[in-house]
Structure 1
């Protein structure tokens, strides 16, 4: 089978985005636009993927690194001119070249693979990916002959009224016989309203040379959507989010209210998990089987094992082991790991803390830079005092220890296995195994003090 190559056009300024960031680096469902495209091409196993860059080229090079090859278009003189910049890297290669725009994140692997297969099986010199739109305004029209074959592509600005009445549009995505592509590109001129070198003109040139041109009509026209401004960015986000949610539901995940659930592209979820409204799952989050997530759970790069319950919580770069419960109103910051069957309750803040199996921090506590053993109970208002103004220090609590309410553990400090710390204590020294530590002012009670004080005030 012939090798497959790809040329992705991303040299334009994207002025309608009104942004200092390159257009294709804006995210859709948690991933930059260009990452969606490069990811699909990786799935197609392209031998070379060449990104045509121009405006803000360095930011694209920094972002993609060695994932692609780069060719620079110093002047933006049109799409044909852009593809020509890949000539030194591709001209002599036999095979098939897929050309697509860098601002089309909604194409699926299946659509692109089907197009490539159509091109290979037809023996055509070029294949156009087309779509049927109710309102084709602004798009180049695909003009067919009476036998259904593709005759030419006419840009909207250059089209006649009769041609503008055609609803089949060019998606800007093509397959070419690679060597015939570069031979035809040399013949493209800029005799048009915009004074640009249009890639679709290659279709007319190949047709005039007697070559066969085929077309593949996309089954879902939404995939053909390009992004030129923030409005289209939001529309693409909504379309991709629906696709993501639908796939999770097909895979056995219950999503109570899809209209109010936000799941990014790289999230994985096991079957029989329930996702409640208001939940946002971001980044590389992985959810196990039989979990109940939400309502109002915001998870970023979190690994969640099976049968976990999380509600009204924010969790970032942490791990939650099987059968743990989190929330309501808990905050787990990076580096936290909750062991099996742990409980983290309301208004608890954890940072870089490891909780052993069955440990409980039920409410109103801060545990940071801490290692907490199995079946430890940390009471209401407890704080690991981990920061001395310059450095962070570690607290270690052994298995089975009990930390009373309103305790301050001034790190570095260790409460050893089975020890108890009395409520209201401020602990600065290690507590031995099975000991009781009390560190508070002895209570003094003065009888009738208030009565006498009020009498003196009234004089």
Structure 2
């Protein structure tokens, strides 16, 4: 197998997106379009990948990092002009180069691998990835000879009536003999209405030189979708979401209603977990086996153990153990670490806290900037008062503590092991282990007060 190279076209601004965000950085299922393309290309045993950047160059480089080298297209003068910019890194090298657009997030590595193989098997100097479409209006048609090789690509406006009946179209992805490609690019003209240099012109140049040009037809039209506006972006999202959900289901995950379940590309889910409708799983979320998630839960970049239940709740950038029961209507904020066998009930918010094994906060509590030990019971309406208007402070609740309802723990404060805090207390000082702390006003009953009040009125 010859050396392989890749050129990713990612320089365009994407004016039809009508967005401040550059086109190739718009996400599909949680990942920028160009990242989807690069991730698939990386599976192809590529010697070097060159991403052509222009608009949003620094943002694209920040997204892709060191996975690619880069070439700058300062002024966008067409696809051939874009590929020319990679010449400083690739020209003169023996091998095969794939050219793929950064706005085709549905393109699969398997299809690109098949394109490479077909190119090599046919000894072609160029191979076009094609697809068949029911209505090819507006697309460049692939005209083949009797041997199945490409005679030409003809644009719709230039096609004869017979050529317009052809429904095999150019998808804009190509394989080229690398040396031949950069030699041919020197002969591409911009003698057209737009004054731009077009990559399909390389095909005509090679045919005029008597070179073999072949075509490989994909059976999956969807993966050739190029995203140029928000309508196509939504369509790509729909297709990618269906693809992701199907993969999880084939791996042993139950998704009750796939059409109303939103799972991003980097999510991992264990066998026999059930995902209920309306659930959104985002980022690098990892969910164990035999869990129940949803309905209507949002989980982003969390690690969740086995046999855990999350009902109608939100969790972000946190670690959640096994056999944990969360919700409904709980909120796990970032940097929380919830151990095994914990219960986080309805309308409980956990923020930047450790919550020890077997501990419970069953309802209506805020636990922020806290270290909660194991076997702790936090009563309804209890709060760790962590903020004085300027700084955040730590509350430490040691093992086997019982916090009564409507208690305020004013940090920094420590509740010692086995201590009890009476309901309605506001704790401002440390509580020793095994102590009962009561910090509330003494009850006073004023008899007949209401009758006296009525007489005054």
User: Into which bin does the TM-score normalised by the smaller protein fall?
Assistant: over 0.9
Counterpart of 1:417?
417
Structure 1 residue 141: deviation in Å? 1.2
Distance 1:263 1:241 in 2: 7
In the TM superposition, what whole-angstrom CA distance separates every residue of 1:263-310 from its partner, at most 9, and x where no partner exists? 000001011000000100000011111100000110010111111000
Report SS of the residue matched to 1:83.
helix
Counterpart of 2:285?
285
Distance 1:7 1:413 in 2: 59
Structure 1 residue 10: deviation in Å? 1.7
What is the 5 A alignment of 1:8-157? Answer: 8-157=8-157
Give the TM-score normalised by the residue count of structure 2: 0.98
Distance 1:358 1:122 in 2: 65
Report SS of the residue matched to 1:237.
helix
**2:35 and 2:63 in contact (8 A); partners too:** no
Distance 2:97 2:416 in 1: 66
Structure 1 residue 126: deviation in Å? 1.1
Structure 1 residue 77: deviation in Å? 2.2
Counterpart of 1:348?
348
Could you say what the CA RMSD is over the residues aligned between the two structures, in angstroms? 1.2
Say whether residues 1:374 and 2:356 are aligned partners: no
Counterpart of 1:198?
198
More divergent stretch after superposition (52-61 vs 83-92): 52-61
**2:148 and 2:214 in contact (8 A); partners too:** no
Counterpart of 1:255?
255
Distance 2:193 2:37 in 1: 30
**1:8 and 1:52 in contact (8 A); partners too:** yes
Stretches of structure 2 lacking an aligned partner (at least 5 in a row): none
Say whether residues 1:244 and 2:238 are aligned partners: no
Distance 1:411 1:75 in 2: 58
Structure 1 residue 184: deviation in Å? 1.4
Structure 1 residue 366: deviation in Å? 0.3
Structure 1 residue 155: deviation in Å? 2.6
Distance 2:164 2:69 in 1: 37
In the TM superposition, what whole-angstrom CA distance separates every residue of 1:137-186 from its partner, at most 9, and x where no partner exists? 22211111133211111233433343232110111000111001111111
More divergent stretch after superposition (137-146 vs 90-99): 137-146
Counterpart of 1:222?
222
More divergent stretch after superposition (53-62 vs 114-123): 53-62
Structure 1 residue 216: deviation in Å? 1.0
Structure 1 residue 193: deviation in Å? 4.8
Report SS of the residue matched to 1:367.
strand
Distance 2:357 2:444 in 1: 41
In the TM superposition, what whole-angstrom CA distance separates every residue of 1:191-237 from its partner, at most 9, and x where no partner exists? 44544322112122222222222211112100010000000000100
More divergent stretch after superposition (156-165 vs 300-309): 156-165
Distance 1:103 1:159 in 2: 27
Distance 2:61 2:281 in 1: 28
Distance 2:82 2:156 in 1: 20
Give the count of matched residue pairs. Answer: 457
Distance 1:131 1:137 in 2: 13
Report SS of the residue matched to 1:277.
coil
What is the 5 A alignment of 1:173-192? Answer: 173-192=173-192
In the TM superposition, what whole-angstrom CA distance separates every residue of 1:76-105 from its partner, at most 9, and x where no partner exists? 222112111111110121111000111100
Structure 1 residue 11: deviation in Å? 1.9
Distance 1:74 1:312 in 2: 48
Counterpart of 1:265?
265
Distance 1:325 1:121 in 2: 57
**1:17 and 1:230 in contact (8 A); partners too:** yes
Stretches of structure 1 lacking an aligned partner (at least 5 in a row): none
Report SS of the residue matched to 1:77.
coil
In the TM superposition, what whole-angstrom CA distance separates every residue of 1:398-456 from its partner, at most 9, and x where no partner exists? 11100000000000001011000000000011111110000000101122121122122
Counterpart of 1:5?
5
Distance 1:18 1:109 in 2: 30
Distance 2:175 2:275 in 1: 41
Report SS of the residue matched to 2:348.
strand
Distance 1:23 1:452 in 2: 74
Structure 1 residue 59: deviation in Å? 2.5
In the TM superposition, what whole-angstrom CA distance separates every residue of 1:244-272 from its partner, at most 9, and x where no partner exists? 00000000000000111000000010110
Structure 1 residue 387: deviation in Å? 0.3
Report SS of the residue matched to 1:170.
strand
